[in-house]
Amino acid sequence: MTPETRPAWYRTLGWTAGWLALALLAGLLLGHPWPALALAAIAALGWQAWRLRAFLALMASRQRPRARADRGAWGEVERQLQREHEDARNRARKLLELLRAYRALGDALPDALVVVERDSQRILWFNAAATRLLKLQHPADTGAPLGERLQPLPVAHWLAAGRNAEPINEIGSPHDPGLRLGLRLVPYSEDIWVVIARDVTRLTRLEQVRRDFVANVSHELRTPLTVVHGYLEMLDPTEQPAWAPMLEEMQRQSQRMNQLVEDLLTLSRLEAQEAVEDEVVAMAPMLATLRREAEALSQGRHEVAVADEAGADLLGSTRELHSAFSNLVSNAVRYTPEGGRIAITLERGDDGGAVLAVTDTGFGIPRDHLPRLTERFYRVSASRSREKGGTGLGLAIVKHVLGLHQARLEIDSEVGRGSTFSCHFGADRVRPRRAAGRPA
Ligand code: ADP
């Protein structure tokens, strides 16, 4: 019994005792004390039974309880019930307000949110943006399988991939081909996942404008640069010894500009491609070409070793793969001091794939720089890159080429010891070695 209920309980006890004492007194006066006491006890019990019945009826009615003006134990029980009821109503009202606020928040978001049941892939809830971007209708689509509703988007397949599902960066909306969507899957509990769709139309257009701009500028620069470079090459510094240092510098810089424009055009071409035309890339001649290139660039300043241990060829584009591998080899030579070693190896991976690795004993790269190395124009040291004739685009080209071959680049490096750049190809890109390879 709590301290608040105690007085009501004592009051009821007091009243009952008083009633019985009064009945006994009246009985004594009338000469029949015991029958009077028994009658009074029956009446008191009857009163309690009647109050209990009224209380049970109140509970059963599920109506808002109203406490009577009773200062006894039953009145206290009714007041407690009324308080509980008020508290529950307040809690429900607050929850409802919170739910409304979350709903309004969900509807105010510019991205489409669709809550999906993992196993059945059925839609549990979606916000207003999902109606705008994915044309989901409430209530007709609640409970429908999301993959079916968004056909022909490969959503069912993507949901089936589960936690391994890679975000879809850009895909046309099933209802409006002009609308470009980015899709992400966020598993937020074991059974319930959220699909987030974002309108990336503007972003895609801007990206296209940027790509076109870079491609057009590079293209426009190419012809005048070729002319200037051609004439500069024709000039012989020995004929004008006073101008020799200037002329050599001009030739070097025009060569750099040419290389920059060529690299920008290569990147633009790669970005515009969604896939490569597959052919069997003969790796023996490819490795021989890479060795020749490394030796030509090194001019005998490095030891160059090639190990062909895979005994397999690759499936992809010979031209693009050559461009990627040759960038890695050129970097290895340029960022390794004289006397260093460059190793080019082709091996089979554990998963049945193949790995082409270029290892050097050069300057190495500080760990902090590794994640950003494949960004355009990202250099660990801009002055060293320029001095070595770099454009800052080589690794960006490598990343794009590997992306087109569903391969990945891994970089392992230690400052002062050297670096290994390895290209990992999946098993579906590996083909048994042909007897006679075509030159790369
Ligand atoms: P760059 O034309 O400047 O070489 P890349 O995109 O090929 O541009 O490489 C980006 C940067 O990564 C380089 O500027 C250099 O700092 C670093 N880098 C690339 N390869 C190596 C390597 N083998 N050893 C050391 N640093 C490297």
131 & 187 share domain: yes
CA gap 147, 153 in Å, rounded: 8
Look at residue 363 and tell me if it is in a domain: yes
- Closest by CA position to 194, among listed 163, 172, 173, 169: 163
297 plus 416 within the same structural domain:
yes
Q: Within this chain, do residues 51 and 193 fall inside the same structural domain, yes or no?
A: no
Say which CATH number the domain at 314 has.
3.30.565.10
- In this predicted model, what pLDDT tens digit does every residue of 408-440 receive, in sequence order? 999 999 999 999 999 999 999 999 986 654 444
Strand order in the sheet with 430-432: 279-281, 312-316, 430-432
Same domain for 265 and 343, yes or no, is no
**How far apart are the CA of 385 and the centre of ligand 1, in A?**
7
Q: Which amino acid is at 54?
A: A
- pLDDT for res 434: 66
| CA angle in degrees (0–180, nearest 5) for 1-44-31 | 135
Q: Hey, whose CA ends up nearest to atom 3 of ligand 1? A: 392
The pLDDT of residue 425 is 96
Assess contact for 326 and 290: CB atoms under 8 A.
Answer: yes
Same domain (yes/no): 250, 350:
no
Domain closes at, from 272, 299, 316: 272
Which atom in ligand 1 lies closest to the alpha carbon of residue 376? 6
Same structural domain for residues 84 and 164? no
Whether 92 and 151 share a structural domain: no
Ligand 1 centre distance from Cα of residue 378 (Å): 8
Atom of ligand 1 nearest to the CA of 382: 14
Tell me which amino acid residue 438 is: R
Instruction: Determine the pLDDT at residue 346.
Output: 97
Low-confidence ranges of the chain (pLDDT < 70): 1, 67, 434-440
Output the CA 233–ligand 1 centroid distance in Å. Answer: 27
Q: Could you tell me if 399 and 301 lie in one domain?
A: yes
- Domain end: 60, 83, 102, which one? 102
Q: Does some domain include residue 437?
A: no
3-state secondary structure of 426: coil
Q: Does 440 map to a domain? A: no
Q: What's the 414 CA to ligand 1 centre distance in angstroms?
A: 14
Residues 92 and 116 occupy one common structural domain: no
* Structural domain for 289, as ranges: 279-432
Both 283 and 337 in a single domain?
Answer: yes
Identity at 193, one-letter amino acid code = W
Domain count, the chain: 4
CATH number at residue 194: 3.30.450.20
Ligand 1 pocket list (CB less than 6 A): 327, 331-332, 335, 360, 362-363, 365, 373, 378-381, 385, 390-396, 419
CA of 253 to the centre of ligand 1 (A): 19
Judgement on whether residues 87 and 211 belong to the same structural domain of the protein: no
Q: Is the dihedral of CA 41, 47, 52, 57 positive or negative?
A: positive
8 Å CB contact between 388 and 380 = no
Asked if residue 174 and residue 211 are part of one domain, the reply reads no
**Element of type H or E holding 147:** helix 146-149
